[in-house]
Amino acid sequence: MSDTAAATYLGHAARVRVIACHECDLLQRESDVPAEGVLRCCRCRATLYRRHADSLDRTLAYALAACVLWVVSNAFPIVGLSVNGDLVETTMFGAVRVLYRDGMWPLSALIFITTMLMPACQAVGLVWLLLPLRLGRTPFRADAVFRALRIAQEWGMTEVLILGLLVALVKLAHIAAVVTGPALWSFGALMLTLAAAASAFDTRDMWARLQGVPDAGPAFDGDTPFPAATAAACGLCVCHDCGLLTRVAPAQAHAESDYANPHAAMHLPPHPTHCPRCGAHLHLRKPDSLARTWAYLIAAVILYIPANLLPVMDTSSLFGAQKDTIMSGVVYLWTSGSWPLAVLVFIASIAVPMLKILAIGFLATSANLRSNWQPDQRARIYRIVELVGRWSMLDIYVIAVLTALVQFNALATVRAGPASIAFGAVVVLTMFAALSFDPRLTWDARKTE
């Protein structure tokens, strides 16, 4: 497949393996990685490949454990409140249902997808791919399941949910006696097994087993001067999902400057659109990357205003009704003595979304201006944005648990306010903005030396 592509490119089959960086697109020689070793890009220091010993067995064991833990986590109550001898408990699905009943269906859908559906897809997807391989068979539709798994890993947020549950526990302890349920512990274990499975999973090893060959990327002749260029300039395209290098255009068909200009990169000639290995869409640069990033970002900025001005939670009790915005919730935590939680919620709900909007705006502006300023620092900003963005979901999970539990008609009732939907939309839109931004645009202004 791609070996033939490389052979036509160089005239004959050759044996220096090449790899392209998924963040800066630089073509580089691939060196052998020792077990548990990491291969990093020599220009932007992105992690290109991480090798794991016994990847298949370990990942499969963690994934099977995660499947069992997922069932336990959703079958039993997470947490309960005991008031005057009455015990009110909720499961995760119970919280989703209460929000739906209150007319907060966008919020309930978001919580259902990120805490129940996607973690299930993560665990089942890994078992689907690896169990047949372990038994010496070929998994059915491995390409589609692999791509679904990549989406599930992006949107599964078990670790954020755990932190949200802990914050909710502290808030609930102010109201009544809290009874922890078995699902609280099994969600914690689910978080750990999913993280362990994701870190032990070796995608290259899996594809090598599936195809029966070590790897199928192009290779260069050892005698040929190695082209210090981006993959795009050599007519090669790296797959976002599985990392396979595929030849999509004649070599040197486009001058390097074409890619240095994001506006030109948006109007590239048509080329093969699907990865021959996993079937993902292939593009030399993400299509309309900057236009889409800006569109998501502007929508997020607009919704950030109601998210902070409108009430995020309505509490009605014997002592009257109270409407809390995100900021007044933080102030309440601070004055009631839980200052570590106040700091945590402030960082997750106010600082992170604002900094994320500013950071993506800065990255997109510098790509628009074709700036050559410190691309390594900008690459670092991009990685931080990708890493911390999901933690803003914290407050959404806290609200969901409080809404599900505090339903004592006469005594106290908590409802999610309109700002919670706006806030959920800000988190999702900034994640879409980060996903639409192509980090390779950061490096395109710089000539490869």
Q: Which residues bind Zn ion (CB under 5 A)?
A: 21, 23-24, 41, 43-44, 46, 239, 241-242, 244, 275, 277-278, 280
CB of 285 to Zn ion, least distance (A): 15
Output DSSP code: residue 88: E
CB of 439 to Zn ion, least distance (A): 9
Closest alpha carbon to 129 in 206, 212, 242 = 206
Sheet of strand 79-83, all strands in order from the earlier edge strand to the far edge: 86-90, 79-83, 177-180
CB of 244 to Zn ion, least distance (A): 5
Amino acid at 30: E
Closest alpha carbon to 441 in 366, 362, 386, 377 = 366
Report DSSP letters for 53-79, one per residue. Answer: TTHHHHHHHHHHHHHHHHHHHHHS-SE
Cβ neighbourhood burial of 261 (10 Å; 0-12, 13-18, 19+):
middle
CB of 372 to Zn ion, least distance (A): 16
Instruction: Indicate the residue among 6 and 44 with the shorter CB distance to Zn ion.
Output: 44
CB of 366 to Zn ion, least distance (A): 17
CB of 431 to Zn ion, least distance (A): 22
Instruction: Indicate the residue among 181 and 279 with the shorter CB distance to Zn ion.
Output: 279
- The two structure tokens encoding residue 412: 């106290």
Instruction: Indicate the residue among 244 and 333 with the shorter CB distance to Zn ion.
Output: 244
- Which whole-number Å values give the CA distances from 443 to 20, 125, 269, 277, 283, in the listed order? 13, 34, 21, 27, 16
Length of the chain, in residues = 449
Closest alpha carbon to 230 in 45, 443, 11, 372 = 443
CB of 158 to Zn ion, least distance (A): 26
Instruction: Indicate the residue among 41 and 175 with the shorter CB distance to Zn ion.
Output: 41
* Cα maximum dimension of the chain: 83
Instruction: Indicate the residue among 21 and 434 with the shorter CB distance to Zn ion.
Output: 21
Instruction: Indicate the residue among 247 and 277 with the shorter CB distance to Zn ion.
Output: 277
CB of 42 to Zn ion, least distance (A): 8
For residue 230, the SS3 value is: strand
Instruction: Indicate the residue among 28 and 59 with the shorter CB distance to Zn ion.
Output: 28
Instruction: Indicate the residue among 85 and 212 with the shorter CB distance to Zn ion.
Output: 212
Report how far Cα 135 is from the mean position of its chain's Cα atoms: 30
Output DSSP code: residue 26: B
CB of 270 to Zn ion, least distance (A): 19
Pair 126, 60: CB distance under 8 Å: yes
CB of 235 to Zn ion, least distance (A): 17
- The two structure tokens encoding residue 363: 């990255």
CB of 220 to Zn ion, least distance (A): 18
Instruction: Indicate the residue among 158 and 203 with the shorter CB distance to Zn ion.
Output: 203
Instruction: Indicate the residue among 23 and 324 with the shorter CB distance to Zn ion.
Output: 23
Instruction: Indicate the residue among 239 and 396 with the shorter CB distance to Zn ion.
Output: 239
A 10 A CB-CB count for 447 gives: 11
Closest alpha carbon to 132 in 215, 216, 56 = 56
Strand partners, 316: 321, 413
Calpha distance 191→181 (Å, rounded): 16
288: left (phi over 0), alpha (psi -120 to 50) or beta: left
